[in-house]
Structure 1
């Protein structure tokens, strides 16, 4: 006997969200012989985007039974049956979690009509429930509601049973149920060896290439969370199919994991990472010597292979900084590209300014040097000393003159007070302002872990 299930929820993770509606169709292998459907009061707000998708409002569920009030009926409908759903791990995780919260231990085999559809009816453009049913001529007049989707899934399952010439359903039921949550090409052994510690993990494709890098406070828990959820879109399905292997690096703290993730994404450029790939500082202040020998300052877009004097997020921030330097050190606004017309210089020295040649390059360049030094002096140099990967070591991150230098691990006996000695124990990494910002933010939050250098 099969129990075909569909639920509506307040969000994507069972431990933090509630069920708002559940429908169960009991199928004997030929047809549906029993139906069950009810709204459920999740005892929390239903997000507005979910209300728009399902049509289930807070008012609709305010008088509905709590899950604990219907748990007995749900458990006895599912107990001893094969749990079937479209993306079964999502529905099963919610139902099993909420049954467990009121004392029921649901243990049953599972079947996923998404995976079965791909095997029994290969080559279709999409295996989402709506598009699959449309392609197969299965009507669903109540889409994104538990009753309508459960009925449509039941009709789909009947068709799959009839079309299963190679016994894919029987083969799926022989699989170890604990492995059904995993991507099809990922060995269970890779999951078993993951530690429950902070670190960075890597998803590899069939050829061993890294396709995704992630960070975690608990590596095992975070990796497993990738394999739950109700996103059955083509992109996610492709991602899951391409995961063949997992490796990891333990880190002493979550902060180290954050920084290492950013470094590794820039180094490896994984296919499925997006957010940190896009992060680049937008603008920067540069210096160069013109043909007459004057050092000129200019705000420009950030250039990857050119070392800036200072980096900034916006053009406005860059010009504000440059104007401050012009006023403080009496620099020439024309030589700094602030004044771009042919009128008399509006700087402090006017007709005696460097732009007219009245001030020598040596005299003017000394002013520019002082201005640049003032920026460097304003940039802090400090280390973050924190927990290590074991009791015998500490983790350490170094910020030198406002820029991320690198990180590593030192003996807990090591005194972090000599920067040159510390550098010998650290690995230098390329940095960016994203890394600098998270480290300085962490230092502000935990000043007792900050070691300043003169």
Structure 2
């Protein structure tokens, strides 16, 4: 492909901040390049209709007075659109400039999109191994003279010079390759290697985003790692948080898992271990609802499903109202509790049996017997001593995934050979990695099992079998297929 067949719009903007959603353009410069040389230049200050923060003024030198008489973006949008239309959009950290211009053109009534080239990505491919790929550092290393740094016109001049240098040095046809792969490659963060993305697996697992120093800044789980990672970079998100997040991604690592549940649990464990900067949601996961017991003024023991206050203790906690209501309804049904002493939040429908009960004082049960029944129910709810492990697919045909639950608590997980010669559950247990779980992980396991189908094998072990594990064989244990 001849580089002269298409024209390029090389662009730089200055803004009031990092978010296209909340910030505005204060200056724009566009250089039209025909693949050989620059053929046209246009630039303008822009009235952002909002104050320029002191830090931005300190960086760019653009003040509120300078832009007070400048045109509004809407007044020059037709000129900008005409310059960009049918041309390849080029910028240093291209997604930042592209997001602002696309957003403000859209506000002005122009629906525009264009193929993109990022000079950061081009420089990484054509000039690998440099200490930094910021525009200023590149210009220093490549002896490109820069005037009026952090002004749109000065930075466009520097970007044009860099663009020319990269065109001349492009012996491997990197420009053509990137334009052919424009849909995927130009959505990637500027500092992320295309090879790193291309080598991601399409299996279930956990992936890690690393910053420039190698520190993990985000952890995620996926059924298909490559597809999920690509999803982070797709779409047109103009929020400052996402733009900053993308600019910090320099590398991706991963760990394959046999199943989605294994990935979910590993994600939880790794977030708790590494505490990444951008994993805010799982860091703060706490039970929202709980089952509590109290003695009413009538002398009866009451049970109530309620929203938990901070540090409030309860009999059993739940991460959703739906989960808590289901457990509470089952407890009422299984243990024959009186609905008149069982309280749900207003938004929860009462069990069907409630319609058959008449709330009359003469129908109340014997107080001592009933309170004893409630006390037994509370102890039963507290004492979940079930032990089991979940056997499912491994990462390949030679192994199976295994999650061990002991006495109602997450004990550990790992992978066991598909054709193990062991006759002891203790041997299986010893092959698993010990982890300290939490209530949220148990909730994940229980929810996943409740929704799972017959692919998942749950092997239930009672206390005596655990004590006698050394003499037990797998076929002697009770198996339940969900």
Bin of the TM-score, shorter chain as denominator length: 0.5 to 0.7
Distance 1:52 1:173 in 2: 37
Q: What runs of 5+ residues in structure 2 fail to find an aligned partner?
A: 1-6, 222-227, 291-304, 330-341, 343-376, 387-407, 411-436, 440-482
| Alpha-carbon distance, 1:171 to partner | 0.3
1:76 is aligned to: 82
Distance 2:105 2:83 in 1: 12
Tell me the TM-score normalised to structure 1 length: 0.53
- Answering whether residue 100 of structure 2 is matched by residue 94 of structure 1, we say yes
Tell me how large the CA RMSD over aligned residues is.
Answer: 4.9
| Alpha-carbon distance, 1:11 to partner | 1.6
Summarize deviations over 1:273-326 as a string: whole Å, max 9, x none.
3898xx9xxxxxxxxxxxxxxxxxxxxxxxxxxxxxxxxxxxxxxxxxxxxxxx
Contact 1:186 1:243 in 2 (8 A): no
- Answering whether residue 296 of structure 2 is matched by residue 384 of structure 1, we say no
Match among 127, 131, 134 for residue 128 of structure 1: 134
1:229 is aligned to: 243
Between 219-228 and 129-138, report the one with greater CA deviation. Answer: 219-228
2:208 is aligned to: 204
1:241 is aligned to: 251
1:273 is aligned to: 277
Distance 1:397 1:187 in 2: 46
Distance 1:49 1:384 in 2: 45
Contact 1:397 1:408 in 2 (8 A): no
Tell me the TM-score normalised to structure 2 length: 0.51
CA 1:420–1:87 in 2, change beyond 3 Å: closer, same or farther? farther
- Answering whether residue 23 of structure 2 is matched by residue 17 of structure 1, we say yes
Paired residue secondary structure (2:155): helix
Match among 156, 160, 176 for residue 162 of structure 2: 156
CA 1:422–1:171 in 2, change beyond 3 Å: closer, same or farther? farther
Paired residue secondary structure (2:21): helix
Distance 2:46 2:29 in 1: 11
Matches within 5 A, 1:119-198: 119-177=125-183, 180-183=186-189, 184=194, 185-186=196-197
- Answering whether residue 37 of structure 2 is matched by residue 65 of structure 1, we say no
Paired residue secondary structure (2:243): coil
CA 1:143–1:210 in 2, change beyond 3 Å: closer, same or farther? closer
Contact 2:317 2:324 in 1 (8 A): no
Aligned length: 296
Distance 1:12 1:171 in 2: 30
Q: What runs of 5+ residues in structure 1 fail to find an aligned partner?
A: 194-200, 251-256, 280-381, 386-393, 432-454
Distance 1:261 1:52 in 2: 45
| Alpha-carbon distance, 1:138 to partner | 0.8
Match among 95, 113, 116 for residue 119 of structure 2: 113
| Alpha-carbon distance, 1:266 to partner | 5.5
CA 1:59–1:415 in 2, change beyond 3 Å: closer, same or farther? farther
Paired residue secondary structure (1:204): strand
Distance 1:2 1:413 in 2: 61
| Alpha-carbon distance, 1:84 to partner | 0.4
Between 172-181 and 37-46, report the one with greater CA deviation. Answer: 172-181
1:435 is aligned to: none
| Alpha-carbon distance, 1:165 to partner | 0.3
Matches within 5 A, 1:228-307: 229=243, 236=248, 239-242=249-252, 264=269, 267-269=272-274, 272-273=276-277
Matches within 5 A, 1:254-403: 264=269, 267-269=272-274, 272-273=276-277, 384=289
Distance 2:178 2:97 in 1: 18
| Alpha-carbon distance, 1:181 to partner | 1.6
2:12 is aligned to: 6
Paired residue secondary structure (1:242): strand
| Alpha-carbon distance, 1:261 to partner | 12
Paired residue secondary structure (2:12): strand
Between 12-21 and 166-175, report the one with greater CA deviation. Answer: 12-21
Distance 2:266 2:178 in 1: 36
Distance 1:159 1:189 in 2: 32
| Alpha-carbon distance, 1:19 to partner | 0.8
CA 1:188–1:57 in 2, change beyond 3 Å: closer, same or farther? farther
